[in-house]
Structure 1
Amino acid sequence: MTNYNWGMIGTGWIAHEMADAINDVNGKIYAVADVNEEMLKKFAAEKHIDKTFTDADAMIADPNVDVIYIATPHTYHYDYIKKALLAGKHVFCEKAITVNAKQFDEVHRLAKDKGLILTEGFTLYHMPIYQQVKQLIADGKLGDIKLVQVNFGSLKDYDPKNRFFNKQLAGGALLDIGGYATAFARTFLTSQPNTALTTVKFFETGVDEQSGIILKNEQEQLAVMALSMRAKQPKRGVVSGTKGYVEISNYPRATEADVTYTDGAHGEAHETLIAGDADQALRYEVRDMQRYIDTGHDDGQLATSHDVTHILDSVRNAWGMKYPFD
């Protein structure tokens, strides 16, 4: 696998984890950018990064940079992705990749036109257990898939000023945690949903605090999702078919899948699939990103992100919830 010069934008907690992963897989990080010079210098020293930039645009313009990693609030993603692609850089961006489908479609086309890899940071796209589950389904062992149930509840402290609840920063459960649930659902639906039924409870700042979402596609498969920013839930997904179902706990970084095979109303058989290491989740992301660049193909990952982004838009439209920049 080829090594690449990564340039990182942002030094928050996920950037710390990702820096460790890049160092482990790639050997070194070329550069990092952050407007906070004190945090920037501390981060660079801790992660052994020689080049620092207080201006991300200057780092993007550096001809030695191959890949841009973006770990900023959602509202900055689109601008940095676009600048990086126009500069001929591959891009790995944390979720949500953009705040709406219009932005996504633009950078999607741009990446395609430029022949560059653009990837969204959903760990579940890269965990090895999902290859086993997909193969199980492809082999027909669960029969015809009928229903996907998935939830994500995160108990955020009550703080209307926090970015999680800030409408100016694209806050709310849907973009912060809902993308994971939607990516899980879309992974196991045969086609893109064309119907979305949903209800929402808004936080006092106008962002979505919690919601229930039902999706249906042309095959009449259903996905049922529950999201909350003020109530903890287990991260659990269930995929059900005519011959059985599979339960995946901690699905963003899952390593096990519990399979139940059903025989009508009489009797059951069980199997547990095991693969991967949750602590290696971000390293799987880095390895896959570098493989995508090596091969010029992303295994359909961006196509899934396209569908997820459009689903999130349809749900928000049903709520009538708009961000100032929509």
Structure 2
Amino acid sequence: MSSQGPPPEEFELVLPPFAPGALEGLGDSAFDDVPLAEAIDVGDGGDDPAIAFRRTLGMFATGVTVLTTRIGDQVHGMTANAFMSVSLSPPLVLISIDRRARMIGMLHEGSRYGVSVLSQDQAVLSDFFARRAVEGVEPEFVVVHDTPLVDGALAHFVARIVRSYWGGDHSLFLGQVEYARYGEGEPLLFHGGRYERMSREPRLFSQLPQELLDQLLLRGHEVTFPAGEIVMTRGEVSDTLMLLTSGSVRVERPGRTMSLGAGNLVGEIEVLNPGPGRMATITAEEETTAIAVTRAELLEGLAADPRAAIALLEILAGRFRETG
């Protein structure tokens, strides 16, 4: 565990403890009463209400966080998307944790927890703290107010627990925020049981069929090329497809040169037949970002949704008409 101070470009909330009586009444409500269990109406959501309820909740898009605390020299962390702001004055946040989680026994009123909001390139850390099998991952931490936080996260909070509540099969921990910082970047999103990416380029969603776009965003990873860098070289053997998300590239092939911007695919023919090598040399005209998808990832996505395969075939047919 790294024990260096917090990263630069941060701000810290230096707050006095709550004044006596400031939180009186927070626990004196019907929220403390355990409601009777009742079957819920799930409409046409299926025969199993529990599954239908879970899937319905999954339609609410959230960010992804890693919750952390420290016991002695041991860091404990878990992935969670049940995190919310409660109040600006006083600054309060709330987390919800499954009662089966090991962290439940480590949190109590007066203790602290950290919340690290993950960026879209930190999905592997989300998997790691969700106890999924991830090889070669060694998360690093910064320590603030004796609380570990995931290094490189998009935002950080440290909160001291001032109330805990019953929440059915979860426990709720209301925390007074003692530290907060944020940086630049895009958040990792979770929706419908899978990770999603955020795009600020609306053309991406108008130029590509949604079925194909969904698979590329789900399975790809972001890469950035500075102006003048070669993205692909004619003749090289490579099996990567790229979806341009910002910037532009110059495509040079014998007898033809053209520019392509955000929303376009490059390498879509070679990803399906990499043997003969790249058909063109492609250079970044300005700083350019792209979502890169390997042949194996693409084939997995096409198998998962045959409509994506049809969409890709339509794009390839259009390319052949253009060259013809």
Task: Flag the structure with larger Rg.
Answer: 2
Structure number with greater CO (CA < 8 Å, separation at least 6) is: 1
**TM-score, with structure 1 as normaliser:** 0.20
**TM-score, with structure 2 as normaliser:** 0.21
If each structure's strand is expressed as a fraction of its own residues, which one has the higher value?
2
